[in-house]
C-alpha cells in the first residue's frame, strides 16, 4: 500500500506539472463550469427586485448559494470521460494497461491536479464577486466546528463520486467508441438534478423527494447546504452516509465497467 501511495503521489506531482502547462485551456474549462452559476446570480438579482424571499432564501442567501455552488462546481467536477474514451478509441490505453499502476489511479491523479490548478482562477473570481456585491455576502456562511469536518469529507466524496460516475461513462468507449452523447445526457441531467439551475429545495416537492434517491444531490447541493448551515448535525451525518453509499456504488460500477471493458478490449483488440 505504501508503494501505491508513493506512485500516486508521483503521478499527482507529474500531473500538476502537466496541468500548469496549459493555463489558457484550463481557464476556458474553468469558465465553462462557472458560467451557469454566474448567469443565475444575475438572474436572481433581477428577480429579487420584486420579491423579498423565495422559499427560505433571502437575496443574500441566494447569491451566496450560487457563489458557493460556483466554487464547488469548478473544483469538484472532474472530466475523465473525454480523455479515457479518447485513449480507448485510439488504442493508446494499451500503454497504460501494460504498466504496473492502475489506469484509474493515473487518470484520477490527472483530474485532481487539474482541479487544483483551478484555484488560481477561482480565488480571484470569488474576491471580485465579494468586491462587487459587498462583504455582506459572507454573512450567509454558517459553517460550524461540528459541520466543517463533514464539509471537508463531503467535498472529497463529491469529487470521487463524480469521478467514478463519469469515468464509468468514459469507459463505455470499450463498447461504443464514442461516448460524447452519453456524457452530454449525463451533464444535462446533472445540471437539473444537482441544483445548478435552482436550489433543489425550491423545486416541486415530488422532484425534490426524488433527488434524495439519486446521486446528483450529493455532488454540490449537499455541501452547499452545509456551508449555509441548513442542516443540523444528524442530517449532515445522514447526508454524508448517503454520499458514501453512492460513492461505494459508483466505485463498484466503475470498476465493473473497467474490468468488463478490459476483457472486451482483450477479446477484440484495439
Residues at the site binding another protein, with contacts judged by CB under 8 A: 3, 6-7, 10-11, 14, 17-18, 21-22, 91-92, 94-95, 97-101, 263, 265-270
Nearest distance from residue 75's CB to another protein, in Å? 22
Of 79 and 216, the one with the shorter C-beta distance to another protein is: 79
Burial profile 201-222: b = 16 or more Cβ within 10 angstroms, e = fewer: eebeeeeeeebeeebbbbbbbb
The secondary structure of 133-193 as a DSSP string is H-GGGGGG----TTTHHHHHHHHHHHHHHHHHHHHHHHHTHHHHS--HHHHHHHHHHHHHH
Nearest distance from residue 199's CB to another protein, in Å? 39
Nearest distance from residue 216's CB to another protein, in Å? 32
Coil, helix or strand at residue 58? strand
Of 10 and 146, the one with the shorter C-beta distance to another protein is: 10
Please say whether the beta carbons of 118 and 159 come within 8 A: no
Distance of CA 16 to the CA centre of its chain: 18
Of 21 and 144, the one with the shorter C-beta distance to another protein is: 21
Q: From CA 3, how far away is CA 9, in angstroms rounded?
A: 10
Of 18 and 180, the one with the shorter C-beta distance to another protein is: 18
Handedness of CA 257, 263, 264, 266 (dihedral sign): positive
Contacts of 26 (CB under 8 A, 6+ apart): 19, 114, 117, 118, 121
Nearest distance from residue 23's CB to another protein, in Å? 12
Of 106 and 192, the one with the shorter C-beta distance to another protein is: 106
Nearest distance from residue 22's CB to another protein, in Å? 7
Of 32 and 92, the one with the shorter C-beta distance to another protein is: 92
Nearest distance from residue 105's CB to another protein, in Å? 10
Please say whether the beta carbons of 172 and 182 come within 8 A: yes
Coil, helix or strand at residue 49? coil
Coil, helix or strand at residue 270? coil
Amino acid at each position: 500500500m505504501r508503494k501505491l501511495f508513493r506512485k500516486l503521489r508521483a503521478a499527482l506531482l507529474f500531473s500538476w506539472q502537466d496541468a500548469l502547462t496549459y493555463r489558457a485551456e484550463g481557464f476556458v474549462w474553468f469558465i465553462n463550469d462557472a458560467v451557469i452559476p454566474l448567469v443565475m446570480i444575475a438572474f436572481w438579482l433581477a428577480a429579487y427586485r420584486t420579491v423579498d424571499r423565495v422559499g427560505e432564501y433571502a437575496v443574500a442567501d441566494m447569491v451566496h448559494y450560487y457563489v458557493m455552488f460556483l466554487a464547488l462546481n469548478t473544483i469538484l467536477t472532474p472530466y475523465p470521460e473525454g480523455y479515457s474514451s479518447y485513449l480507448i478509441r485510439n488504442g493508446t490505453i494499451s500503454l497504460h494497461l501494460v504498466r504496473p499502476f492502475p489506469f484509474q489511479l493515473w487518470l484520477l491523479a490527472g483530474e485532481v491536479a487539474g482541479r487544483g490548478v483551478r484555484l488560481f482562477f477561482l480565488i480571484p473570481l470569488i474576491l471580485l464577486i465579494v468586491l462587487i456585491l459587498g462583504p455582506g455576502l459572507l454573512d450567509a456562511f454558517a459553517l460550524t466546528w461540528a459541520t466543517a469536518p463533514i464539509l471537508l469529507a463531503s467535498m472529497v466524496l463529491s469529487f470521487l463520486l463524480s469521478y467514478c460516475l463519469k469515468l464509468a461513462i468514459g469507459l463505455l468507449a470499450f463498447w461504443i467508441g464514442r461516448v460524447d452523447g452519453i456524457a452530454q445526457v449525463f451533464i444535462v441531467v446533472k445540471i437539473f438534478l444537482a441544483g445548478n439551475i435552482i436550489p433543489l429545495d425550491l423545486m416541486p416537492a415530488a422532484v425534490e423527494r426524488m433527488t434524495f434517491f439519486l446521486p446528483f444531490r450529493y455532488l454540490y447541493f449537499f455541501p452547499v447546504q452545509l456551508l449555509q448551515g441548513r442542516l443540523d448535525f444528524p442530517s449532515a451525518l445522514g447526508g454524508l452516509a448517503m454520499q458514501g453509499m453512492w460513492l461505494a456504488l459508483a466505485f463498484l460500477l466503475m470498476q465493473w465497467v473497467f474490468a468488463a471493458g478490459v476483457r472486451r478490449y482483450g477479446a477484440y483488440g484495439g
